[in-house]
Amino acid sequence: MKSNQERITIDGIDKEILRHLMEDARKPILEIGRKLGISGAAVHQRLRKLESSGLITGSKFVINPKVLGYSTMAFIGIYLDKAMRNPEAVKQLREIPEVLECHYTTGNWSILIKLLCRDNEHLMQLLNTQIQAIEGVSRTETFISLNQQIDRQIGL
C-alpha cells in the first residue's frame, strides 16, 4: 500500500482481503489468510494499515427493512426558496428517522433525500406533516422506487 496525499495505492493482496470482507465482513481473518496463502497476523496488519489510511471507515450489519415492515423507498427532491436555508433544513431533516440519506445537489433541487417508509400512506404523512412543513421548503418532487436493481460498493 502506497499513500499519495489523500489517494492510496493498494496491491493485489490488499484487494483480495478487501473483496473477502466486502462480501462478508464477519469472515474470519485466519480463513482469509489461508485462502491467500499468508498468515492471519499479516492479514490483520494489512487491515490496520488500510484502516489508518482512511480507506476502511468501518463495518456494519445490514438490516432488511422489509422484515420490520418498511417497504416503500422514495427519493424526494426538495426545492428551497433560498440557498441560505440549507443548513437549517438539513438540521430538521436529520430529526426525521425515515430519512436515510441527504445530498446537497446541483440542478433544480437544493436537496435530494432518500426515505424509507412503511407504505405510501406513511410517505404521504411524512411529506405533508414534516418535510413540507420545514421553513424554506417551497415544494417537493417525489419518486417512489419500485425495485432496487443494483446495490454495491465501488469495485476493486
Whether 37 is covered by a domain: the verdict is: yes
Q: Which domain holds residue 103?
A: 65-145
Grouping H, G, I as helix, E, B as strand and the rest as coil, residue 130 is helix
**In the block, residue with C-alpha cell 465501488:** 154
pLDDT band for position 7 (cuts 50, 70, 90): confident
Give the global pTM.
0.82
Is the same domain home to 8 and 78?
A: no
Q: Which three cell numbers stand for residue 44?
A: 490483520
- The enclosing domain of 95 has a CATH number of 3.30.70.920
Tens of pLDDT along 37-94? 999 999 999 999 999 999 998 888 889 999 999 999 999 999 999 999 999 999 999 9
Are residues 137 and 131 in contact, defined by beta-carbon separation less than 8 angstroms?
yes
Query: What are residue 114's DSSP bridge partners?
Result: 75, 101
Question: Which phi and psi (to 5°) does residue 74 adopt?
Answer: -140, 150
Tens of pLDDT along 132-149? 999 999 999 999 999 999
Is the same domain home to 22 and 45?
A: yes
Residues 6+ apart with CB under 8 A from 130: 96
